[in-house]
Structure 1
Amino acid sequence: MPFLLLLLLSCFLPGSNSSSESELQILVHLKNSLGITNSTPGFQSWNIPSPSASACNFSGISCNSEYSVTRINLSSRDLSGTIPFSSLCQLPYLTNVSLTYNYLSGILTSDLRNCTELTYLDLSFNNFTGTIPDLTPLHKLQTLVLSDNFFSGVFPWTSLRNLTSLTSLSLGDNPFGPSPFPEEVTNLTSLRWLFLSDSNLNGEIPPSIGDLTALVDLELADNFLSGPIPPEITKLEKLWELELYNNSLTGTLPPGFRNLSELAYFDASMNSLEGNVSELRFLNKLVSLQLFYNDFSGELPRKFGEFKFLVNLSLYSNRFSGELPATLGSWSEMNLIDVSTNSFSGRIPPDMCRMGTMDKLLFLENKFSGEIPASYGNCNSLTRFRVGNNSLSGVVPAALWSLPNVNIIDLEINQFEGAIGAGIGKAKSLNQLYLAGNKFSGKIPAEISGASALVGIDFSSNGFSGEVPATIGGLRSLASLLLQNNSFSGAIPDAIGGCVSLDAINLAGNLFTGKIPASLGNLRSLNSLVLSNNALSGAIPESLASLKLSSLDLSNNKLTGTIPSGLSANAYGGAFAGNPGLCSNSISYLNPCSNSSSSSSRIIRLVVTCLLAVFALLLCLMGLFLLKKRPSGRDPKSPVSWDVKSFRVLSFDEQEIIKSISEDNIIGKGGSGNVYRVDLGVGSTMAVKQILHPSTDTITSKTTAAMLPVRRSGSVRSLSREFEAEVNTLSSIRHVNVVKLYCSITSEDSSLLVYEYMPNGSLWDRIHSAAAGEKKLGLDWETRREIAVGAAKGLEYLHHGCDRPILHRDVKSSNILLDESFKPRIADFGLAKILQCAAGGKDSSSTYVIAGTHGYIAPEYAYTWKVNEKSDVYSFGVVLMELVTGRRPMESEFGDGKDIVYWVAHRLTSQDSVMGIIDGSISESEKEEAARVLKVAVLCTATLPAMRPSMRTVVQMLEDASGSRPIGEIEGKHQSFDGGEAKLEKVSSYKVVSRSSP
């Protein structure tokens, strides 16, 4: 009897019928396709203890009352593999499928058309590829989300004609083939959410967009749309979000735009829109308004001062004028306002921090006047206060100096006066303090040492006086100290030698006296030292000779004695002029140093010199005679003469180099020739790059090389352009993060460049390459970070530290070499170009040339052929991505024709997804910092060159990334691109939030 009862009950158990068993088999197939095992986190319920198990008990699976599967939701499960649509679509009651935020791949087969009961399909944020099949049979679909994948080809727009029930359509962030704006979309009159950003749309937005009156969210950003915003868009009165940024839209905001009274998020930045924004004065529900990089003009409506929800206002780089509304920000929890690079005038509104939420106040490059409102001294939430390049005046509010969270105070190029408040010592987060070009006076307060996070100080061109406090030596993170053109007096404090991170010191044009502190020789990172036009006396410390200075100026002082031998280089130009007491036997404009030699010995030296000159003349005449007698054309068996040019003090003979040019010593090969390792007799090692001259044979034989005579002067007739570029560039560079060039040895056949040897090879070798059967030689995160900062400083010097900017044009991880301590050196300047920069000439800073390496080349090469410093920045951004992710610039996983930039950009969707692309060898405790560096990389690889930071800013951001402070400005001191940073934050997080219902 119990057995019969059990048998009877089993008939009513779920999973007992054949249909349930079939559905169970389908989900088992799905499990196997996705690589789900019994140990996969979150899938313990998918373990099947017996054939009678029910799929309805699986996590992520929902069933109807008949125990048939209706919903599959496996979002954000870190799943990979492919989806077996052929079997999945056999689930007869399946209505909802959500597989978003995974790593699923493969193509959408035509079997998907069999899922005819589907009302909800979300496959976004995966790695699906290929073309999308005809979707006509899915006539019940209400939600279709395929965004953020790698779908290609032209989307089957005509299939939308049958999907009239759609309320949400998301296809953006896919590399679809180019297509005009699809009219089929405008027939979907039930749509509430339309996301077509970054989907390769072109042409104009059709007037029929006004038929989608149910729309709440319309996103068409990052396309190639042109023409005006159609007036019919004003019919979309339910719009909560409108994203049109980064297109080529023209014209004005259409009349009637005021009808969009529900609009909270409006972004039309990076277009060519013009006219005034008076229509926006009625949109009092605005939360975020971003119109930067357009050509808007006129005044900002007074009504903006009454907006109670506005928290983000970015209007920079337009032609706005007039005064800002006095009550702007008074009633809303505002966190960012950036109106930089316009023609705004009048006073700064006083109450934008009234709610205590203001994060960034950015008013650079306008015509603001009057004083800084005292209220901002109480704005403890501020992280950036930038009002540089205006006409502001008066005394800075005392409390402003001591704001606890501010990391940038930029007041330069105004008419401020008074002293720096002692409260500066309480500004524990202060990173950059820019006061140049004002009327500040008084002393630097000793309390400044309390601002221990300071990296940049620029007090130049003011009226400061008194002694520089010794406490400044406590600023261990300080990288630049610019105090030129003031009235500082007394001795330069020896304590500056404690600022171990300094790379630039400029104290020129002051009243400093006494000796140059020998402690400056301890600043191993120091790159530029300018102490000219003071009253310094005594000898130049020998310790300065140990520095790797690219810029040195000690002119117009009262220095005496002999120039240290390590500084006696013509590369420093007139660095020692105006010091009558200095002498040197190698610098022509200085007096020779006297010695105790007798007049007879001087006569002997004179006679010997004359004899040598006569002997040299005879040799030249003999050479000319032999040259005239020699038949035209060089016998390949005849000896080759070499021209030697040294750029540093050499401890080796050129014959040692020439004899070592053999197959046995090759350590690398390139398109222009080989690289050799040369072990010298003095115990040191050099790297020798051989560059073959066009249409000649190279010399590789040990025997031949050993027979080559050497000549120390003269000219070689056919130097390759690559050789000339590299020599001209490197011979003038002195920077700790740029590889040293010792000399060049040139013949008619080839040229040899002798560099310092880097025992740890290239960055590429360390993070990518491995011999067969070996593991990669990994780098810990601390080393990677130091490599990133060091390489950035090398590029920063090339772009900003030379008389003329130097463009590398082939920045890549294989051109970043590592010394014995893994300190980086920028190398291989065969493609370098010294830019001819006219004053303010933007166009002159570019050159028409295609150069570089696939995977590192900036996108503007493809459509303008113009490259400038921002092209190097893009390439460096790729290097940063390699460092953080451990991936190569080009990998098959990224998809056909896709690179690491595309791959990373399509994964900046949430905190978890960002962490998921960081190299697994980086520890969990360090991944947050790595994520911040990845953020810098994304900024560097912005599609628009103007949106990329300068290398000077990149250095600052990387140094910021190593701490808990927000990343610094996206561009240099005088121009604000914070809206660009906000754009990145939108890509990485806001986009997810903004697609929900309002």
Structure 2
Amino acid sequence: MTLCNFFRHLLPLILTLFTSISPSTQQLFSGDLNALHQITYSLTDVKKTGGFFSTWNFTSPEIQNPCVSFSGVTCSVVNNQLRVVSLYLGTGLSDSPGLAGIISAEGLYQLTELTQLVIYPGIVTGFIPSEIGNRLKNLRIIFITNNRITGTIPVSISKLSHLHTLDLSHNKLTGKIPATLTTLLPNLKTLVLSYNRLVGEVPNFSDESQLIHLDLKNNLLDGALPKNFPKTLRYLSLSSNGLWGPVDSVTSSFNLVYLDLSMNKFTGSIPSSLFFTSLQSMYLQRNNFTGKINSPFLSTSTSTSTSSFELYGFGSTIDLSHNLLSGEIPSFLDSVETLFLNNNHFTGKVPESYVSNVFAGKMKTLYLQRNYITLFPMGEKMGTVLPDGVALCLRYNCMVPPAVGLTACPVSAGGPVSRPFGQCSVFNSGKLMG
């Protein structure tokens, strides 16, 4: 091959490479340009001057390429055409009122190479286009949060095989969560539908699910939990719904770091295996859990006396308050930094390791008020003043609490300092210890 022929064969490759890294040298695909026009017809800035759309100028002769000059528009060369691949509508700034109007299906459907659709907080109303999953098959991120979107979640979203993140939180969505969202999206990692008006049960999950973050709090969900959760799950929040029944299936997620099942109607005992995980934040308050808190080490060779700060430690929080839990205070939780066990039926004395860690400043918050506890064993070396930043509340138990156990109590812990003897006799065989 001659040198001239070599460069003749190489030239198309050079041109392709140049256009792929320099989209500003091409004109935007006409269909995408028309789509951007349609979007400005249906959405507008709440802020009338200097808002998000102030850079979207279709008439100025100086504007040759929206990919370069339009805020929130990112383009790439696809099949030798310059296409819109990312659309971020709104500024996303905390002091911005955002956008108003509706989502234009007519405009959106033309952006067939779109991979990211983001609508920042504002007052956008209307529905999510029902055919979004059939028309925009390359979508990887859908982020439409803190607006006023109504209607149901389109089932067609379940056809977006590349979808990685779906966040529709803080809207006014109704209806059930499509079951196919958790069974037909193998690449979905983040699903956030919190603060809506969704009903029905938490859907089941496929064995292939790779979900990492699931947030469904503050909806109208009811029913029992699914049989299994994805093993990959690290964040799970189902707080403030009407869910009921046992929570054993949550233990199928071995990698959980954050768990919030608070303010539901869950019953039964708390699985001991939940305490033998990577969990650093666990919120189970305001349910109907009963029974004792059993040590997760009972079936292992690990001794409960070795729990120390190797198990939970810095930044950890466990809230089991406002349930019907009974038995003695579990000693293996002495390493939790923020621990709420108040408003239960716990009896007996507080483990000495708790007392030591409180006065050492390792356990920053310990709420034990409104139980049936009989002794907080303060040693002579403990002193009478808590370290700075430490909160301890022992009010309304079956004892006269030390003064340090009253100063940090919340307003809700008001009432007498100790329980009446008649109440204590039911739980402590009539023996009231000072």
Question: Shared fold by TM > 0.5?
Answer: yes
Equivalent position to 2:287, from 339, 342, 345: 342
Partner SS state of residue 353, structure 2: helix
Matches within 5 A, 1:931-970: none
Equivalent position to 1:444, from 402, 411, 417: 402
Matches within 5 A, 1:262-281: 262-279=210-227, 281=228
Distance verdict in 2 for CA 1:248–1:106, change over 3 Å: closer
Matches within 5 A, 1:218-297: 218-233=166-181, 234-254=183-203, 256-259=204-207, 261-279=209-227, 281-297=228-244
Q: 2: CA distance between counterparts of 1:306 and 1:67?
A: 49
Structure 1 residue 172, shift from structure 2 partner: 3.2
Q: 1: CA distance between counterparts of 2:64 and 2:384?
A: 67
Distance verdict in 2 for CA 1:66–1:196, change over 3 Å: closer
Partner of 1:309 in structure 2?
255
CA offsets, 1:809-847, max 9 Å, x none? xxxxxxxxxxxxxxxxxxxxxxxxxxxxxxxxxxxxxxx
CA offsets, 1:210-262, max 9 Å, x none? 111211100011111001111222312221110000000001123x4345621
Query: For the Cα contact (< 8 Å) 1:217–1:242, is it kept in 2?
Result: yes
Q: 1: CA distance between counterparts of 2:69 and 2:224?
A: 42
CA offsets, 1:562-607, max 9 Å, x none? xxxxxxxxxxxxxxxxxxxxxxxxxxxxxxxxxxxxxxxxxxxxxx
Matches within 5 A, 1:504-653: none
Q: 1: CA distance between counterparts of 2:20 and 2:207?
A: 47
Query: For the Cα contact (< 8 Å) 2:169–2:192, is it kept in 1?
Result: yes
Partner of 1:57 in structure 2?
none
Aligned residue identity for 1:461: S
Structure 1 residue 118, shift from structure 2 partner: 3.3
Partner SS state of residue 109, structure 2: helix
Distance verdict in 2 for CA 1:66–1:208, change over 3 Å: closer
Distance verdict in 2 for CA 1:355–1:305, change over 3 Å: farther
Query: For the Cα contact (< 8 Å) 1:340–1:363, is it kept in 2?
Result: yes
Q: Does 1:369 align with 2:326?
A: yes
Partner of 2:3 in structure 1?
none
Q: 2: CA distance between counterparts of 1:202 and 1:227?
A: 10
Q: 2: CA distance between counterparts of 1:270 and 1:182?
A: 24
Q: 2: CA distance between counterparts of 1:286 and 1:409?
A: 29
Q: 2: CA distance between counterparts of 1:396 and 1:308?
A: 30
CA radius of gyration, larger in: 1
Partner of 1:319 in structure 2?
265
Q: Does 1:432 align with 2:380?
A: no
Q: 1: CA distance between counterparts of 2:160 and 2:206?
A: 18
Partner of 2:86 in structure 1?
143
Partner SS state of residue 156, structure 2: helix
CA offsets, 1:746-783, max 9 Å, x none? xxxxxxxxxxxxxxxxxxxxxxxxxxxxxxxxxxxxxx
Partner of 1:92 in structure 2?
25
Partner SS state of residue 170, structure 2: coil
Partner of 1:707 in structure 2?
none
Query: For the Cα contact (< 8 Å) 2:174–2:199, is it kept in 1?
Result: yes
Distance verdict in 2 for CA 1:417–1:297, change over 3 Å: same
CA offsets, 1:873-899, max 9 Å, x none? xxxxxxxxxxxxxxxxxxxxxxxxxxx
Aligned residue identity for 1:398: E
Query: For the Cα contact (< 8 Å) 2:85–2:115, is it kept in 1?
Result: yes
Q: 1: CA distance between counterparts of 2:339 and 2:205?
A: 33
Aligned residue identity for 1:414: N
Query: For the Cα contact (< 8 Å) 1:402–1:426, is it kept in 2?
Result: no
Structure 1 residue 406, shift from structure 2 partner: 3.2
Equivalent position to 1:413, from 333, 354, 370: 370
Structure 1 residue 388, shift from structure 2 partner: 1.0
Equivalent position to 1:298, from 236, 245, 251: 245
Equivalent position to 1:111, from 37, 58, 69: 58
Aligned residue identity for 2:261: L
- Normalised TM-score (structure 2): 0.71
CA offsets, 1:497-517, max 9 Å, x none? xxxxxxxxxxxxxxxxxxxxx
CA offsets, 1:325-357, max 9 Å, x none? 11114131x221111110111222545972535
Q: 2: CA distance between counterparts of 1:417 and 1:295?
A: 35
Equivalent position to 1:183, from 130, 135, 153: 130
Partner SS state of residue 226, structure 1: coil
Distance verdict in 2 for CA 1:425–1:161, change over 3 Å: same
Equivalent position to 2:345, from 378, 382, 391: 391
Aligned residue identity for 1:142: V
Structure 1 residue 455, shift from structure 2 partner: 4.4
| Larger helix fraction of residues | 1
Partner SS state of residue 199, structure 1: coil
Aligned residue identity for 2:290: S
Q: 1: CA distance between counterparts of 2:399 and 2:27?
A: 73
Aligned residue identity for 1:214: H
Query: For the Cα contact (< 8 Å) 1:121–1:143, is it kept in 2?
Result: no
Q: Does 1:199 align with 2:147?
A: yes
Distance verdict in 2 for CA 1:159–1:369, change over 3 Å: same
Distance verdict in 2 for CA 1:214–1:412, change over 3 Å: same
CA offsets, 1:950-985, max 9 Å, x none? xxxxxxxxxxxxxxxxxxxxxxxxxxxxxxxxxxxx
Distance verdict in 2 for CA 1:455–1:94, change over 3 Å: farther
Distance verdict in 2 for CA 1:419–1:201, change over 3 Å: closer
CA offsets, 1:275-299, max 9 Å, x none? 11124x2411111111111000010
Q: 1: CA distance between counterparts of 2:231 and 2:19?
A: 50
Q: 2: CA distance between counterparts of 1:444 and 1:219?
A: 48
Query: For the Cα contact (< 8 Å) 1:213–1:236, is it kept in 2?
Result: yes
Query: For the Cα contact (< 8 Å) 1:406–1:430, is it kept in 2?
Result: no
Q: Work out the percentage of aligned pairs sharing the same amino acid.
A: 25
- Normalised TM-score (structure 1): 0.32
Aligned residue identity for 2:86: T
Partner of 2:4 in structure 1?
none
Q: 2: CA distance between counterparts of 1:249 and 1:119?
A: 40
Aligned residue identity for 1:307: S
Please give the root-mean-square deviation of Cα atoms over the aligned residues, in Å: 3.7
Aligned residue identity for 1:343: N
Query: For the Cα contact (< 8 Å) 1:361–1:384, is it kept in 2?
Result: yes
Unmatched tracts of structure 2, length 5 or more? 1-15, 29-48, 74-80, 297-306, 422-431
Structure 1 residue 144, shift from structure 2 partner: 1.4
Q: 2: CA distance between counterparts of 1:196 and 1:339?
A: 29
Query: For the Cα contact (< 8 Å) 1:266–1:288, is it kept in 2?
Result: yes
How many residues get paired? 351
Equivalent position to 1:328, from 257, 267, 274: 274
